[in-house]
């Protein structure tokens, strides 16, 4: 029986959990599927194409049920949290997603919903587009660090700091518990609030500038008349 594309992706995600991104190879995937390499390459020409397919699969549960009647910031926060959960659902999943730009249904759905929220807030497509990438980069970067940095690693790094550095940077030492503690959800929410409130501020300034420009053009027209 021929292997279908969905089976290839599911198996690849399983290998990702077992071996991490470095351990996921096209050869190992073909062996696990018990198929020859040409059969695998018929579905995915190379590992980059495979990662695109895996990234698309990871986003399957994100931004599926949107409550369009809710405020834009509420919807945006929900998408960001769903995306983070998706990126943490598999080992190295955030690294899989980083650098992939598949033009596919799930990716476009998530991006479109984020842009709709930000355009609703600002009324400007360029701000919405830039804000979308800024938000997605925040979630992606946070998830990458979250998966790479464990509490144990943080404590080991803190203990390994030379005394002269601890004396030179006492503030960094005093907040080490906040960095290495089990408060990643709170830290993520804090950063997300900064993203949302920052965009709200930028959108308000942009709207005020447009109104001032329009008022200035109107005054010029009246003077000419």
User: 79 and 187: one domain?
Assistant: yes
Does some domain include residue 27? Answer: yes
User: 129 and 201: one domain?
Assistant: yes
Dihedral sign, CA of 146, 147, 150, 151? Answer: positive
Q: Which residues contact 116 (CB under 8 A, 6 or more apart)?
A: 128
Q: What is the pLDDT of residue 213?
A: 72
Does some domain include residue 50? Answer: no
User: 30 and 90: one domain?
Assistant: no
Retrieve residue 185's tokens: 């959800």
Does some domain include residue 33? Answer: yes
User: 68 and 111: one domain?
Assistant: yes
Q: What is the pLDDT of residue 120?
A: 95
Q: What is the pLDDT of residue 161?
A: 67
User: 123 and 36: one domain?
Assistant: no
Q: What is the pLDDT along the chain (225 residues), one digit of tens a residue?
A: 567 899 999 999 999 999 999 999 999 999 999 998 888 999 999 999 999 999 999 999 999 988 888 999 999 999 999 999 999 999 999 999 997 777 788 999 999 999 999 999 999 999 999 999 999 999 999 999 988 876 456 556 655 667 787 788 888 777 877 776 667 899 999 999 999 999 999 999 988 887 777 666 665 554 555
User: 85 and 129: one domain?
Assistant: yes
CATH number of the CATH domain containing 28: 1.10.10.60
Q: What is the pLDDT of residue 222?
A: 46
Query: The domain containing residue 130 runs over which residues?
Result: 61-147+163-205
Q: What is the pLDDT of residue 155?
A: 54
Q: What is the pLDDT of residue 8?
A: 95
User: 76 and 122: one domain?
Assistant: yes
User: 178 and 113: one domain?
Assistant: yes
171: three-class secondary structure by DSSP: helix
Q: Of 190, 186, 181, 174, which is closest to residue 149 (Cα–Cα)?
A: 181
Does some domain include residue 219? Answer: no
User: 92 and 169: one domain?
Assistant: yes
Q: What is the pLDDT of residue 2?
A: 66
């Amino acid at each position: 029986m021929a292997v279908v594309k969905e089976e290839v992706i599911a198996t690849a995600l399983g290998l990702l959990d077992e071996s991490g991104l470095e351990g996921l190879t096209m050869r190992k995937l073909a062996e696990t599927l018990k198929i020859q390499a040409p059969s695998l390459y018929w579905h995915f020409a190379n590992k980059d194409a495979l990662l695109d397919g895996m990234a698309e699969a990871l986003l399957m549960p994100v931004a599926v049920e949107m409550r369009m009647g809710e405020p834009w910031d509420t919807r945006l926060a929900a998408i960001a949290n769903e995306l983070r959960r998706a990126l943490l659902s598999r080992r190295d999943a955030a690294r899989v997603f980083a650098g992939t730009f598949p033009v596919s249904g799930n990716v476009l759905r998530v991006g479109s919903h984020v842009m709709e929220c930000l355009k609703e807030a600002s009324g400007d497509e360029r701000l919405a587009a830039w804000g979308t990438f800024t938000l997605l980069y925040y979630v992606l970067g946070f998830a990458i660090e979250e998966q790479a940095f464990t509490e144990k690693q943080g404590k080991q790094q803190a203990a390994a700091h030379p005394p002269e550095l601890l004396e030179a940077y006492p503030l960094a030492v005093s907040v080490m518990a906040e960095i290495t503690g089990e408060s990643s959800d709170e830290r993520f929410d804090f950063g997300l609030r900064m993203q949302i409130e920052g965009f709200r501020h930028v959108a308000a300034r942009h709207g005020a500038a447009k109104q001032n420009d329009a008022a200035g053009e109107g005054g010029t027209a009246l003077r000419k008349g």
